[in-house]
Amino acid sequence: MARATVDRVEARSSRVPSRGRADRRRTAQRAARRRRRSLLRELPLIAVVALFIAIVLKTFLVQVFVIPSGSMEQTIQVGDRVLVDRLTPWFGNEPGRGDVVVFKDPGGWLEPDHTRSADGPVMRRVKSALSTVGLIPSNDEGDLIKRVVGVPGDTVECCDERGRLIINGVAVDESYIAPGNAPSRQSFKVTVPAGRLWVMGDHRDLSADSRFHMANPGNGTIPMKNVVGRAFLIAWPVSRVSQLDTPSSLSSLAAPAPTAVLDERPVAGAGVSLQSISDRPDPAEPPLVMGVLGVLPTLVRRRH
């Protein structure tokens, strides 16, 4: 009788660990299901916060632009994606000679697009929202990219006996110009007014830059206030990732004297628009990636 009682106790004790493992397995499965449901509930919040961070980054910090034309070859190729610093202009930093800048059309540099959208009102609102965060191109995109050659007070002229540009009486060697291009095939002389810039493309034979708008108010110069930011890096394709340095031949020139402000009325003309990275939906756009990365650490800490 005692032996039978011992056997029953041992049998019960041998089954306890088995029930314990099953309970732990079921508890783990329930916890996993709760985590999945929690993540699904948090995804909309993650998306909203990521988009908010992307908008802030694009508006105030860094924006990516895709190059649609060859006006900046060989420095920047067609299809290259460049990072543009939008932060420093907010602190009053002004572009210097040699900087590659993205700027809004000052009026008449771009050909007007007379095509009308066939989208309905709902689709127009959706596209407007997506263009705000940089996922599709804006309908009124009007940005260009050039190199700053003259800053306020500079006198820029073409050319000396060796065909070089002259800035403030100093002939400049421009190693960044596309092979086979002359610094300029047309003669000009201009003094850059206060608050404006003289800009030229590195592919001088293809660039409809300041030289082609000298009949405009400002004598071909652009308003400094139109500058979106300074392009500082070629970010794509990977084989062309490189920093956009300022050539010493321009940056080492002495500072010019201040000049007067001229009229800034818009005029007619033609040019090629620079497109934002928002050419097509791209989940790898840096503002969106950084927005998501900004949310993930908080999510991970909450879940732990």
Q: Give the separation between CA 260 and CA 152, rounded to whole angstroms.
A: 9
Q: What is the DSSP string of 58-71?
A: IIIIEEEEE--SST
Q: Do 217 and 263 meet the contact criterion of CB atoms below 8 Å apart?
A: yes
Question: How many angstroms separate the CA atoms of 90 and 60, rounded?
Answer: 8
Residue in 71, 184, 210, 249 annotated catalytic: 71
Q: Is 71 a catalytic residue?
A: yes
Cα gap 225→94, rounded to integer Å: 9
Q: Reduced to 3 states, what is the DSSP secondary structure of residue 294?
A: helix
Q: Which of 93, 96, 85, 86 is nearest to 233 (CA)?
A: 85
Task: List the catalytic residue out of 69, 146, 184, 276.
Answer: 146
**How far is residue 254 CA from its own chain's centroid?**
31
CA–CA gap between residue 272 and residue 113 (Å, rounded): 11
CA–CA dist 290, 284 (Å, integer): 9
146 included as an active-site residue: yes
- Residue 43 tokens read as 């995804």
User: Mind telling me the catalytic residues?
Assistant: 71, 146
